[in-house]
Amino acid sequence: MLKNDFIWQTEQFADIRILRYRIEGFENLSLSQKIFAWHLYQAALTGRDINIDQNYKYNILIRKCLEAIVLHYRGKRNTEPWNQFIIYVKKFWFSNGIHNHNSMDKLVPEFKESYFKKLFFDIYEEKLPLDVGQTQNELYKFIKDQIFNPEVAPKRLLQDEGADHIIGSACNFYENLTQSEVEAFYASKIDSDDATPVSHGLNSKLIKKDGVIKELVYKSDGMYGKVIRKIVILLEHAHKYAETELQRQSIQKLIEFYETGSLKAFDEYSVLWVQDTEPVIDFVNGFIEVYGDPMGFHGSWQSVVSIRDEEATTRFQKISQLASWFEKNSPIDEKFKREDAKGVSYKVIQVITESGDCSPTSPIGVNLPNADWIRATHGSKSVSLGNIEDAYENASKSTGSIEEFYLPEQQQRIRDFGPLASKLHTALHEVIGHGSGKLADGVATPKESLKSYSNTIEEARADLVALYYILDPELIKQGLVPGDEVGKAEYDSFMLNSMMRQLVRVEPGQQLEESHARNRQLIALWAFEKGKQKNVVEQLMIDGKTFFKVNDYQALRIIFGELLREIQRIKSEGDYEAAKAIVENYGVKIDPKLHIEVIERWKKLNIASFAGFINPKLEAVIFEGKIQDVVVKYPDDFTSQMLYYAENYSFLPTVW
């Protein structure tokens, strides 16, 4: 299939559109590399249910019930209530559970409870497809309350100021605990004098039973053991085909981590992994990001398997080579700069598959590992997900959004330079942003010092680094951009998206919950207010529509630098009160009038607010018991892929 003939978007429902992405270059891999990728692909899909269970304790049970109805309902399927039911199921798949992936609020079904009862008892009439030790009526009542009762698990992640973030969050990282108990538990474990601290809580669930608090560790003979043992077997198969000795060592150390649950082993794996920059095929598999935990301790399970995009990597590799220059010329306080910013590697990748916390929704850039001491001592790997960015771009052409939200003088600049500006922002954000700066001596890790605000502060810091440097003349000198129009396009886009366009993802009357959304509004609103007296950024009303116009790009860059200096100080000093003030004042609340306007304008374009992906499928060609080749197929139906995954990669018990 020619690239121009590739179908990028397959369907749209509710506020969601489903996209596909291509894997360029897979057919050129050696057989050994293809087999290596095949085992990693299987390991990625094997772990997907872990994240669904982490999101909410009863997600697996609810999903199996919903999928049983989709597969076995014997009634009419061409009715409006059925269509409403199917949309709910798709939203569940998209969000990996009963809570919206962005707002964290429980999904609201449009079909009636009476209709769900009809569906349920149609397939559960004779016997229970689920072995849960309950009668039909007991199971129905339980599932019904999970879906329809607004008081049951109303929010997956609660971060409201003044609330108990543990009691108010439905995520499955804690049980029978309060926020103060969690804080006290981990405070007792943390040694502030340890220069190489492990990430306490990263691979565990914290529970209180009979008055005793303990961690249930995720490992091969612990929590999620059945799934982890299968992942280990697949990693052992992959180990035989590793491309370098360092990669073999890192896989072996990852296996040790999964088998023992040792956080020290995970750090040792991370050090090996970050040093291994040669292989064409790379992967992430484990408990990584802590955005799903209101306290920022417990990692959500995820996996990404990828191929290095040689051409695109070469094009942007200068960014990592200039890491020391960026650090030296940063506007942050000298005492918070890293003395040696080497070790920050960068590459553009072609994603082969994603799973867990990375799928169906996908990041466009990643910087790992997350431990600050490893970043400072050993560096980090920064990657841009090139084919994911390409899919977004190709699926969004000719939508009319540029004409609707940008001023006439901005529109051509966005068309000409917007795609490059976006890719460059991602690279600067991941490579320099997350890879720069350091904590002051004796300051605890951000998740300890800044608590629920740590993720927003870190993302704001990385975005501000990208914004500050994307208009720097050095980028032109180094040949990374053809001129300052690229930086101007990014400033136009960032201010518009942060002040307006991202609001389409939030229901009227709600506030911003997701850390990236909070960080973007924090930056844009702070900069807008800071430059108001000199009219640096102007808010215009034309024919009843709001627009934002940057009048002085260099002045805005200086403002971004000033905010970067303060955000770095907050992180480096662990200033909780300052973090709380700046996030709550600028990153949370939404202008209700502007919110309604943006939603109404967006609806007229008929563009879904969110996008997720159908993954390519790897198929092994086997002859006489041996893999002779691995080929890529491109499924085009979201429902079919979700049901295929459920049939072939569901290894967790129905109720934990």
Structure tokens of 261? 């649950």
Which amino acid would we find at residue 626? K
pLDDT for res 3: 57
In sequence order, the 6+-apart residues with CB closer than 8 A to the CB of 340 are: 324
Cis peptide before 419 (omega within 30 of 0): no
Work out the average pLDDT over 454-480: 96
Q: Supply 633's token pair.
A: 């197929």
Beta bridge partners of 538: 549
The token duo for 436 is: 């720069």
User: Is 656's pLDDT higher than 50?
Assistant: no
> What domain count does the chain have?
1
Sheet of 212-217, strands arranged across: 174-175, 204-209, 212-217
Angle at the Cα of 330 (from 328 to 333), degrees rounded to 5?
95
- Which residue would you say has higher pLDDT here, 83 or 193? 83
Strands (DSSP E) contained in 183-309 are 204-209, 212-217, 281-287, 301-308
Q: Which residue spans within 410-502 are E strands per DSSP?
A: none
423 in a structural domain: yes
DSSP state of 281: E
For residues 205 and 188, what is the distance between their CA atoms, to the nearest angstrom?
17
**Choice among 8-17, 390-399, 446-455, 572-581 with the minimum mean pLDDT:** 390-399
Please provide the DSSP assignment of 369-404 as one string. ---HHHHHHH-EEEEEEHHHHHHHHHHTTT-SHHHH
The mean pLDDT of 87-107, rounded to a whole number, is: 97
Is residue 554 assigned to a domain? yes
The owner of tokens 């980028």 is: 475
CA-based end-to-end distance of the chain: 44
With tokens 């720069």, the residue in question is 436
Closest to 285 in 3D by CA, of 370, 355, 359: 355
> In this model, does residue 20 exceed pLDDT 90?
yes
Q: Which amino acid is at 346?
A: Y
Better pLDDT: 172 or 344: 172
Q: Show the tokens assigned to 565.
A: 């200096």
Please name which of 207, 375, 363, 214 lies closest in space to residue 291, comparing C-alpha atoms. Answer: 363
Between CA 619 and CA 251 the distance in angstroms is 23
Identify the CA nearest to 524 among candidates 489, 554, 563, 567: 563
Specify whether the CB–CB gap between 54 and 48 falls below 8 A. no
Q: Which of 78, 417, 50, 103 is nearest to 226 (CA)?
A: 50
Q: Is the residue at 500 inside a domain?
A: yes
Does residue 87 have a pLDDT over 90?
A: yes
CB hemisphere CA count around 306 (13 angstroms)? 28
pLDDT computed for residue 192 by the predictor: 81
Nearest C-alpha neighbor of 616 from the set 308, 393, 355: 355
DSSP result, 531-597: TTTTTSEEEEEETTEEEEEES-HHHHHHHHHHHHHHHHHHHHHT-HHHHHHHHIIIII---HHHHHH
Do the domain assignments include residue 548? Answer: yes
Domain assignment of residue 341, given as a range: 309-611
On whether the CB atoms of residues 368 and 339 are closer than 8 A, the answer is: no
Give the relative orientation of helices 638-648 and 80-95 as an angle to the nearest 10 degrees: 60
For residues 522 and 586, the answer to whether their CB atoms sit within 8 Å is yes
d(CA 516, CA 505): 12
The answer to whether 492 and 550 are in contact (CB under 8 A) is yes
* Residue-wise pLDDT tens digits, 180-238: 999 999 999 988 889 999 999 999 999 999 999 999 999 999 999 999 999 999 999 99
Round to whole Å and give the CA distance between 219 and 284: 17
This prediction has a pTM of 0.88
Nearest-angstrom CA–CA distance, 564 and 434: 13
- pLDDT tens digits along 560-570: 999 999 999 99
For the residues 102-119, what does the mean pLDDT come to? 96
Cis peptide, bond prior to residue 592, ω within 30 of zero: no
Residue 288 lies in a domain: no
Residue reference for tokens 């200086």: 558
Phi/psi of residue 614, each to 5°? -85, 130
CA angle 565, 385, 325 (to 5 degrees): 35
Q: Is residue 576 part of a domain?
A: yes
pLDDT of residue 127: 53
* Pure H helices in 276-407: 310-316, 318-321, 323-328, 372-378, 386-395, 401-405
In a domain, 486, yes or no: yes
CB 337 within 8 A of CB 328: yes
Measure the CA angle with vertex 216, ends 214 and 218; round to 5°. 150
Above 90 in pLDDT, residue 109?
yes
d(Cα 385, Cα 388) in Å, to the nearest integer?
A: 5
Instruction: Answer whether 203's CB lies under 8 Å from 287's CB.
Output: yes
Q: d(Cα 538, Cα 532) in Å, to the nearest integer?
A: 8
Q: What does the pLDDT read at residue 399?
A: 77
Query: Does 2 have pLDDT greater than 50?
Result: no
Side chain identity at residue 173, one-letter code = F
Q: Can you tell me the mean pLDDT for 380-408?
A: 91
Q: What residues are paired with 345 via a beta bridge?
A: 381
H or E stretch covering 353: strand 344-356
**Run of H or E including 632:** strand 626-633
Residue 7 confidence (pLDDT) above 60: yes
Backbone phi, psi, residue 124, to 5°: -105, 15
Output the CA–CA distances (angstroms, integers) from residue 451 to 105, 168, 224, 293, 454, in the order listed: 21, 16, 27, 10, 6
Q: Is residue 190 part of a domain?
A: no
- Comparing C-alpha atoms, which of 242, 255, 361, 372 is closest to residue 300? 361
State both tokens at 503: 């609001």
- Residues 244-281 have pLDDT tens digits of 999 999 999 999 999 999 999 999 999 999 999 999 99
The confidence score (pLDDT) of residue 90 equals: 98
DSSP state of 174: E
Cα(568)–Cα(450) distance, integer angstroms? 12
pLDDT band at 655 (very low <50, low <70, confident <90, very high): low
| pLDDT at position 555 over 60 | yes
pLDDT at residue 580 above 90?
Answer: yes
- Give residue 297's pLDDT band: very low, low, confident or very high (50, 70, 90): very high
Confidence band (pLDDT; 50, 70, 90) for 341?
low
Q: What is the mean pLDDT of the chain?
A: 94
